[in-house]
A and B are shown apart, each in its own frame.
Chain A
Amino acid sequence: MKKNLGILGIFLVVCMVASVFGQNFLTGYNLMNLTQRTSLFAIISLGAGLVIVTGGIDLSIGSVVCLAGITTPWLLVEHGWSPWVVIPLVLAGSALIGLFHGVLITRLRLQPFLVTLCGLLLYRGIARWMTSDQSQGFQGEFAGVRSIALAKFPIPLVENYQIPATVIPLVVLAVVIGVFLHRTVWGRWLLATGRNESAARYSGVPTAWLITMAYVACSLLAGFGGMLFIFDIGSAQPSDFGNFYELYAIAAAVLGGCSLRGGEASVFGIILGAATLQVLRTAIILLGLSSQLEFAVIGAVLLIGVTADELVRRFSVRRIERKQT
């Protein structure tokens, strides 16, 4: 919990600035919207976190979001398939993409950066070609399926705020991944693999299998996230849907305490990281800043956060040393 203090601090400061200077920040509608966006982005960020734990990276997340998200209404509306077929199919396809990455990385020993960079181009291209670059949407139908992402649960005695349904899969995933990482043998092995892959292999840890599974989980979560995104917004363009989402996911994981060197992760930190990025995006609009500044502001905050984190770490190490002297 201690290592989440940094990101918690940044999150609170960003929220405070936004609520003091942006008049509509603390409205129920805005908070509901924020919760929804945070849940969606946190789901894909958890996947990014699992890959980063192994010391790898997945740049294809945004394109997998796009491919999975676009395929869903394309099959449902254009081809008239049943949701009972489409949803499992899209999830299985996403997992298969991860398997493809994992096998290339562990068997052929290709670098994760390259494999997933090619994935980024490949899946985006496939999505655009498949749909002839046409916008895909539900055209007002499939309300039942879309309620997976759109339903809201009222809280007793609270009037303006209802809990978005996407919080449920996020909480479930967070608990599962948290328990997995810190309580199970596989989690222990995954963290060890991230720290020193070679030493883990010499200790009899099935490193290749674990790394492959991390990429499978990442793409699966990206595909699942992509589906939720499209259920949420209703329609999207294959050319820009999910653009840069991999960077939001990686940024959230890093803000949340994942080291790009591998071997470190905090589920709570990753969710806080995703929330911070979404509050920032909202704050830029509410504060009346030019929306063209969005990337610059996010970049700056990320840089400040990572720098502050490093400085705090050094300071506390020095303080412990001094205390013991």
Chain B
Amino acid sequence: MTNTHQELLRCSGLGRRYAGVPALSGIDLSIRGGEVLAIVGENGAGKSTLLKMLSGVIAPSDGDISVADADGVLRTVQLSSVRDATRAGIALVHQELNLAENLDIAGSIFLGREPARFGFLDLHSMQASARDWLARVGLDLDPTTPCGALAIAQRQLVEVAKALSCNARILILDEPTSSLSAREADRMLEIMSELRAQGKAVVFVSHHLDEVLRIADRVIVLRDGKCAGVLERGAYDRNSIERLMVGRSIEPTEQRAARDSASVRLRVSGLTSAHRRAHPVSFVVKTGEIVGLAGLVGAGRTEVLEAIAAITPHGGQVHLDDVELRGNTASRVRRGVAIVPEDRARNGIFAANHVAMNMSLAWVDRNSRVRTVDTSAERGVVGKLMERMQLRPAEPDRLLHTLSGGNQQKSVIGRWIAVSPALLLLDEPTRGVDVAARAEIHAEIRRLADSGTSVLFASSDLEEVLMLADRVIVMHEGSIAGEFTAQEVNEVAIMHLATGGAPSGSWTQTAARGKEHRRGTKL
């Protein structure tokens, strides 16, 4: 029986070099049972590297890891594979979920260690014990449900159940709430504290300092591949963490001027998207305006953005500067539409190509003479873009997959800057991006808007919506539930509409004022 607060894992002088360059060095850390440890840091600070070493995905180049054995004695272990880590009681819940979609829940929980009798699957006991593990994470689901039918939040919990079923004592979660809605994220944090109460050690990476402040017993801050400090509960607040992360505190951003008199850039009328419950939606975005689409995961925000860019077919009409947008994505891009997709790895980047190619793809045809690529001019523009986006390291020839997530995201957004798009559509512009990079990306979006680009972005991160948007459109179940200006918006009001609540007093007042750009589903 593990007594709580027993030291379960200790690493000393832990480090990892990639091609000789240290990604992380000199990490001393101990993890105790019954505590929640948060790892925070900027992009490229070494968080993922640390997680991967702890979970056996990559081997450390320096230092060693000791894990408590059954008697609670720390012994040095070689974690050279995920299997080793599992045997040592360490389980990783990936940021990119990797459940086999064609298996059912029971099948994926026991994948690779299915209970069997004479070589035949023992489905009965598999499903019974799957049900037990699901209950431990508060999921009331039939174990025969296929994983493909689960929502992201549910899949994540299934992964946690799978980790628990391996008798994991140390659970490592890589950005567990990054793809969850606020309500689901709350549930996830509750589960994490329940696991803590059961004596497990929970280690998680998060970019949401609110979550960290809420739940973490200890915070380790990484900066530039080194440990910038370990803070105990009670000894930290938002400010002290931010200071350690970036070496300074982050200034709150100022309000942008209202755009009431600007001309209408985008007019969406009766748009029906690929969303399963798509209602026709209508709204406008003015020149130089930043409009946020808020709502729960699955409310239909992505579908609206992708419909405007013709990634998916749509009904209704989309007008850009009073001319209707028709045709496929390529033709709309030529009209000045730009889109930054939600799923960066799948739809955004060319991982095996270098940064220059990634960043020039959207405008290389406009930079060309007689359709041949002017390579030196291309490099010149890419260099300027990288500087403007503060993309690090500033090497255009680096392969994209060697960059951190935040810098990859900067490259995808930076791709569009050189064309000064008329309309920039962003889907979760800063998911999985650290505080400092997020501020840089926000500043860039504002700069673009100031120069006349209209911005429409979807975000599940309410803080981001409040910080960035001049106007907020709230979606619920495929239709528009309401709309706020930056002056009247607050988190409670958004959540009220996003979760299906009736329009509140303040919104009705806005409606009564007859703002000409208000286009609800009621029209």
Contacts and interface: CB of A to CB of B under 8 A. Distances in A.
A324 B20 contact: yes
Interface stretch (A134-142, A170-178, A179-187): A179-187
Given A205-B330, A205-B361, A321-B19, A192 B372 contact: no
Contacts of A128: none
A200 interface: yes
A321 B346 contact: no
Nearest to B331: A206
B19 A320 contact: yes
A199 B348 contact: yes
A192 to B, nearest CB: 6
Interface string A153-189: 0000000000000000000000000010001111011
A206 B328 contact: yes
A203 B373 contact: no
Contacts of B20: 321, 323-325
B333 interface: yes
A312 B325 CA distance: 50
A196 B339 contact: no
A192 B353 contact: yes
Contact of A184 (B17, B330, B349, B372): B372
Interface string B349-369: 111110001000110110010
B459 interface: no
A202 to B, nearest CB: 5
A111 interface: no
Contacts of B309: 202
B109 to A, nearest CB: 30
Contact of B357 (A179, A188, A202, A324): A188
A119 to B, nearest CB: 26
B487 interface: no
A225 to B, nearest CB: 26
Contacts, number: 87
A204 B19 contact: no
A208 interface: yes
A263 interface: yes
Contacts of A185: 364-365, 368, 371-373
A324 B18 CA distance: 9
A183 B348 contact: no
B334 A204 contact: yes
Interface residues of B, number: 36
B46 to A, nearest CB: 18
A202 B348 contact: yes
Interface in B8-31: 17-21
Interface residues of A, number: 28
A206 B373 contact: no
A313 interface: no
Contact of A195 (B17, B346, B352): B352
Contacts of A189: 361, 365
Contact of B328 (A184, A208, A263, A324): A208
Given A184-B371, A185-B365, A201 B329 contact: yes
A291 interface: no
A198 interface: yes
A201 B341 CA distance: 11
B522 to A, nearest CB: 33
A200 B361 CA distance: 8
A209 to B, nearest CB: 8
Interface in A54-87: none
A161 B460 CA distance: 72
Contacts of B368: 184-185
Given A192-B361, A325-B17, A186 B371 contact: yes
A179 to B, nearest CB: 8
B443 interface: no
Contacts of B334: 204
Given A185-B364, A321-B19, A325-B19, A202 B353 contact: no
Given A184-B371, A204-B362, 11 more contacts: A183-B372, A185-B371, A192-B350, A198-B346, A199-B341, A199-B347, A201-B311, A204-B338, A263-B350, A323-B20, A325-B17
25 contacts: A183-B372, A185-B371, A188-B361, A189-B361, A192-B350, A195-B352, A195-B353, A196-B347, A196-B350, A198-B347, A201-B330, A201-B347, A202-B309, A203-B362, A204-B334, A205-B330, A207-B330, A208-B328, A263-B350, A263-B352, A320-B19, A321-B18, A321-B20, A324-B21, A325-B17
Interface of B: 17-21, 309, 311, 328-334, 338-341, 346-353, 357, 361-362, 364-365, 368, 371-373, 415
Interface of A: 179, 183-186, 188-189, 192, 195-196, 198-209, 263, 320-321, 323-325
